[in-house]
Structure 1
Amino acid sequence: MLEETVSPDASEDETRDVRGLLLRYPGVARARVDRGADGRLRARVQGWDHPEDLSPAGPLSELTEINPHETRFLYDEIFAAESYLQGGITLREDAVVFDVGANIGMFSLFVGARCPSATVFAFEPVPDVFEALSRNVERHGVRARLLPFGLSDREQEITFNFYPGISIMSCRSDYADLDNEVDLIEQYVENARAAGASGREEHLARVQALVAEDFELSERRCALRSLSAVIEETGVPRIDLLKIDVQRAELDVLHGVDERHWPLVQQISMEVHDEKGTPTEGRVAVVRELLTANGFLTTVAEEDLLRGTGRYAVQAVRPEYADDPRPVTAAVGNARPLEARALAAWLAERLPAARLPQEVTVVDELPAAH
């Protein structure tokens, strides 16, 4: 009788497939799958809940990114501070989320981790950034439709300023304000140091170094469409959450909603620029008036790390949304840590017994693979 053997390539394929499946479990940031001396698989997983760990063993170390310093900034804002869930914003079961200004996908990953039944429509017009978004969302199995254009008040193609050194400030060329961006970076660093948070100094030094020389700038031609055109094309029955972060173009996005489509939008969480001495001065009041006229209750706040920068967080919720019968899966402070037993049971529903890891462990640190 011939003894059945497993080739090294087959073994590598198996561990890779199990690892890929683990990354699709809500809340898993990284995973390792190894085969022990007994031939059985063992899995280690790391969650998104280690905000101070910037080492190669940390949760951000395997993301496709443009720059590490802005990846950390996005993580602080979205995962650690839960900035887009402030002001009473929630994610309900089977939510439809529009992520406008998705960048590398940090908010889309957050939605996938906290509300896995949600469907995300992620908009990113800059091709260089869209590529990173695509890789991150695919890697983590987020239920998402990726759209390689931005939103505005009408369909058009325009020039964007793409800043490779800090892509989150990329914007329409006609809305660019480099002096303001320099002021923002300096104020952000000052606020972060004043807060005294540990583990940030190297990160802050790298961010501060951006203003020591001219920003590198490349131009990209990018497509824009109106939100109403997307609603018509996709046929979405509602938008549970419209998240907007588009570098001074936020009012254009709102102006792209036709009157007949406003009732479909249930919640909005957005960054609004209201910078003294610029064309955006007074915009918070304009946005608040528009949202109030369309039936929303609104709140306005300044995030601690962006205080004094002219960036405001505006959240808007329809009062009647509280009566939606679907259970809330994500709200401020209700995140749950990963549980190895639940993860093992989830794997058992998706893999044959012979391919199941013998052991699943949740770890705080996960060294890089060799």
Structure 2
Amino acid sequence: MATPDNSLGLPLRQVAAEIEGTLRRYPGVARARVIRDADDRLVAQVLPWGTLSVTADTGVLAELAGMNMAETRFLHDEIFVDEVYLRGGIVLRENAVVFDVGANVGMFSLFIGSRCPSAEVYAFEPIPEVFAKLQQNICERGLNTRPFNYGLSDRDQEVSFYYYPNISIMSCRHDYTNWDNEVDLIKRYVANERKSGPPGRAEHLAEVESLVAKDFEFVEHRCRLRTMSSVIDEAGVHRIDLIKIDAQRAEYDVLQGIEARHWPLIQQVSMEVHDEAASPTEGRVKQVTELLAEQGFRVSVEVEEMLRGTGRYAVYAIRPGYESDPRPVVAAAGTAHAIKPELVADWLSARLPVDLLPDRVDVVDALPPGESS
């Protein structure tokens, strides 16, 4: 096993870095640490995704390429802990094809890689600065994801986007800007989480709250938009198991970019829909649900209690008969499988020389501070 004097002649720090880097590519592993135990044995500790919500360990998020810690943590909890895109009966099947529309820094792509590693993901993010982070996260974790530096809409065009460096998840097309609504949403989120959320998150909530306690600067970008049908044709996609859409008020435009001949390819849709009174999005839930129903989907609409009154709705659409698809379901809400140390060890042994293998693998719910030792 690996020691400071291993046969490859590598120092322990380099051995640990190689093991940790490899473990970050294991499905479900958010972070890894290599230490020596009391018996001088090399131990690889792995922290699963989702553990963060109760441990308040921000180290794993610090390792991700993100715009700032507060919104990265927000995205993690929304996607990995609350599983917002797997509600309403949405599932991930083996070898699923997923379109991640509004990918931001790639948190949902990371989620897919964690829960359904056989999936192929097409990720769309129009803002250049955010897209660079998406690319970095995909590359560092070896995700089976194809990133595209443009958004999707009802036609091919270029439009102005307002990019907020301090809170990139609120960036949107200039014609859909509604900053007062965004501020209200964040304030409601913080108030509800303080009242009924898990313990140990006071610092995180204070950071989120601080995001709207100052004047926001924005950068205007001209961004390319394409139709989903043009991408389907160009990429030769023959089936889409899931379209996830979070496009900051442009979600209906995304759906309108799907031609009639392509709708039968789509099996599930999971999306956030903005329906805000006295705004361009007023009536959007009705428009979206009617469109999906016309295309043959079973549609359901949910509102989280913390979002009530903010004009945010979750819409889920499933094509009848998809439950008969012969491919096994590998992920559904609340069905995350525990990571097994012996399987992680076997996975490592197929990817590292024997001199770089740890003596033991432990699955933990928190990692100690400090560097590998």
Give the C-alpha shift of residue 174 in structure 1.
Answer: 1.4
Higher mean displacement: 84-93 or 129-138: 129-138
Q: Is it true that 1:210 corresponds to 2:189 in the alignment?
A: no
Deviation, 1:202, is 2.1
Partners of 2:141 and 2:6 in 1: CA distance? 34
Match of 2:71 in 1: 70
Matched residue type, 1:68: M
Matched letter for residue 55 of structure 1: D
Contact preservation (8 Å) 1:91, 1:330? yes
Relative to structure 1, is the Cα distance of residues 156 and 240 closer, same or farther in structure 2, using a 3 angstrom cutoff? Answer: same
Q: 1:5 to 1:89 in 2, by over 3 A?
A: closer
* Paired position in structure 2 for 1:295: 296
How is 1:229-244 mapped onto 2 (pairs within 5 angstroms)? 229-244=230-245
SS in 2 for 1:199: coil
Is this contact kept in 1: 2:57–2:367, CA < 8 A?
no
Distance change >3 Å, CA 200–CA 18, structure 1 → 2? closer
1:111 aligned residue: 112
For 2:56, the equivalent position in structure 1 comes to 54
- Give 2:261's aligned residue: 260
How high is the TM-score relative to the length of structure 2? 0.92
Measure the CA separation in 1 of the matches of 2:330 and 2:341.
20
Residue 129 of structure 1 is matched in structure 2 by: 130
**1:276 alignment partner in structure 2:** 277
Task: Report which stretch shifted further, 241-250 or 62-71.
Answer: 62-71
- Count of matched residue pairs: 366
Write the distance in 2 (CA, Å) between the matches of 1:39 and 1:135: 35
Please show how residues 141-180 of structure 1 align to structure 2 within 5 Å: 141-180=142-181
For residue 332 of structure 1, report the CA deviation from its aligned partner: 1.0
Distance in 1, matches of 2:149 and 2:236, equals: 18
Please tell me whether the aligned partners of residues 50 and 76 of structure 2 are also in contact (alpha carbons under 8 angstroms): no
RMSD: 2.1
Identity %: 57
**AA of the residue aligned to 1:61:** A
Cα distance in 2, alignment partners of residues 264 and 242 from structure 1:
11
Amino acid at match of 1:245: D
Aligned to 2:309, what secondary structure does the other structure show?
coil
> Secondary structure at the residue paired with 1:211?
coil
C-alpha separation in 1, matches of 2:133 and 2:196 = 31
Q: Cα distance, 1:368 vs. partner?
A: 4.4
The one-character-per-residue Cα deviations of 1:144-187 (angstroms, maximum 9, x if unpaired) are 11111111111112211011111100001111111221222222
1:308 maps to amino acid:
G
Amino acid in structure 2 at the alignment position of 1:143: N
SS of equivalent residue, structure 2 residue 33: strand
**The residue matched to 2:54 in structure 1 has which SS?**
coil
The offset of 1:308, in angstroms, is: 1.9
Cα shift at 1:39: 8.8
Give, in whole Å, the separation in 1 of the partners of 2:219 and 2:293: 38
The answer to whether the 8 A contact 2:35-2:42 is kept is yes
Relative to structure 1, the CA distance from residue 194 to residue 365 in structure 2 (aligned partners, 3 Å threshold; closer, same or farther) is closer
CA contact (8 A) 2:71 2:169 kept: yes
Does the 8 A contact of 1:19 with 1:33 survive in 2? yes
TM-score scaled by length of structure 1: 0.93
Alpha carbons 2:113, 2:143 under 8 Å: kept? yes
Q: Distance in 2 between the 1:269 and 1:84 partners? A: 6
TM-aligned CA deviation for residue 17 of structure 1? 2.7
The AA in structure 2 aligned to 1:52 is V
Gaps of 5+ in 1: none
Q: 2: CA distance between counterparts of 1:4 and 1:337?
A: 32
Structure 1 equivalent of residue 225 of structure 2: 224
* Cα pair 2:170 2:182 within 8 Å, conserved: yes
Which range is displaced more, 347-356 or 22-31?
347-356
Structure 2: unaligned runs, 5 residues or longer: none
2: CA distance, partners of 1:206 / 1:36: 36
Point out the more displaced range, 287-296 or 300-309.
300-309
Residue 27 of structure 2 corresponds to residue 26 of structure 1: yes
2:327 maps to 326
Deviation at 1:132, TM superposition (A): 1.3
SS at match of 1:242: strand
The letter for the 1-side match of 2:88 is G
